Amino acid sequence: MKATKLQIETEIYRRSFYEFSLEAFKVLHNGYPMDKNWHIEYLCEVVQEEVEKVLNREVRDKHLLINVPPRSLKSELINVYLSVWLWVRDDSKKFISTSYASRLSTKHSKNSRRIIESEWFKEHFPKIEITHGENTQTEYTTPSGGNRYSTSTGGAVTGTGADIIVIDDPQDPTQSRSEVKREAATDYFKETLSSRLNEPEEGLFIVIMQRLHEEDLTGMLLLSEPDKWIHICLPAEDSDNVKPIELRSKYVDGLLFPKRLPYNVLETFKTRLGSYGYSGQMEQLPAPSDGGIIKSSWFNVIKEIPDAKVDFFLDTAYTSKQNNDPTAMIAVCKHENNLYVKQVHTVRMEFPELIKEIKRFAAENGYSRASRIYIEPKASGKSIVQQLRRETSLNVVEDKAPTQDKVSRVNAITPIIEGGRVFLKDGMYINNFLNECSSFPSGKHDDMVDVLTMALNKLMSKKSGGIRATNVSRR
């Protein structure tokens, strides 16, 4: 018997998550068609391939980690349509959905239910329904045992498990610089969600988010378990950050989604979001590629520095643990109203070894009787000042405690750097130093930025002679 148009359509939607999504979009948008774009079909195909493994109960070795900008339909695709299509394939499967705010989680849950209750869906999939009496805004089930549960970052999932867990923007982009919020999002995944797959070897995690910080959930996963994730990164504009790299050829005039994110819209986002917001949400970089508050191009790299008195600035912490802040040391000299950086060094050492390392660093970088070693007076700094004074003849100075926050202090010294007043002696430290400067304040560490700020404040302030303009070549 010849298949009817309805039967053919039903089978197409069942076999293709992409085709299903095109029709589901119309349900939620008053019949208007989706703005098609290559990345939508690509994401649907990648996601379907991984979901098929769940349906076939295959043992998996990787989960999905996707970085895409807002307005690219990421939440509707992965957090709304997917849970419904999963039931089209097997309505006994369980799905957990999370977002940073409960209102968003609830909205996605309600939209999924709207699709299931739509005439289009009932016509094509009449056997799939929501169990009567078990239908709330955030949780509903099917007669076959399927379940969709929605919550927010930090929300309880006790007693709840799933075959697929979607983590959609675990942190509010407006709170990207909050260490407390970042840790809450990463801890929620590590301590709560990571153990909620019903079949740990067969279930699927999908993390889909914008990059907000070097230590956001994406950063944590790529650092701690890079081999466990298929990483897809699709910035709004073509760049070396596109992953997989072959997808760059699909960008049109350098744009990911020209219909929704054309250049004039992106320019508006640049103004509204600022350099850090745009870098994270649109470029999928934790810090702007050319630097944020401090730009790498402002520094001048030279082969030799003047023969002048060398001073030292230290931001100290005595610990050998890699996850703790390091001690940072900088050796600098001032010559003709320019600051010359001879060396920047970071170490993680216990107290006795750190004392030895400070003496070695000073001797190796031109310490003289005229030199001063300035140490920030936090708890560890005070102890180090006392110890160095006790056992050495080094000219150790306990620096004044800062009265402003770090961002304010850095903003105060950026005109000096931008004006071409800071020269770096070429060396192995250069790349790490420039990377930390350009990622401030969104980088993992800022200790080298701290000692640079200390040096500029002490040696290049108006009280020490002021700043003169000069023409220099930039790196």
pLDDT tens digits, one per residue of 205-219: 999 999 988 889 999
pLDDT of residue 470: 36
pLDDT of residue 322: 53
pLDDT of residue 323: 54
pLDDT of residue 404: 81
Spatial CB neighbours of 67, under 8 Å, sequence gap ≥ 6: 208, 209, 210, 211, 218, 231, 232, 233, 234, 235, 284
pLDDT of residue 294: 86
Find the helix packing angle between 351-364 and 379-391, rounded to 10°.
70
CATH 3.40.50 positions along the chain are: 5-281
pLDDT of residue 168: 96
pTM greater than 0.75 (yes/no): no
User: Which CATH number is correct for 296-464, 3.10.110.10, 1.10.645.10, 1.10.10.10, 3.30.420.240?
Assistant: 3.30.420.240
Distance CA 193, CA 156 (A): 10
pLDDT of residue 181: 86
pLDDT of residue 289: 56
- How many CB atoms are located within 10 Å of the residue 38 CB? 13
Distance CA 242, CA 235 (A): 6
Contact 40, 24 (CB under 8 A): no
CATH 3.30.420.240 positions along the chain are: 296-464
Cβ contacts of 87-92, under 8 Å, gap ≥ 24: 87/116, 87/128, 87/142, 87/146, 88/13, 88/14, 88/20, 88/125, 88/128, 89/14, 89/51, 89/55, 90/55, 90/146, 91/127, 91/128, 91/142, 91/143, 91/144, 91/146, 92/142, 92/144, 92/145, 92/146
Give pLDDT < 70 ranges for the chain.
Answer: 1, 177, 275-276, 287-292, 318-324, 379, 462-475
pLDDT of residue 177: 66
Domain 5-281 = CATH 3.40.50: yes
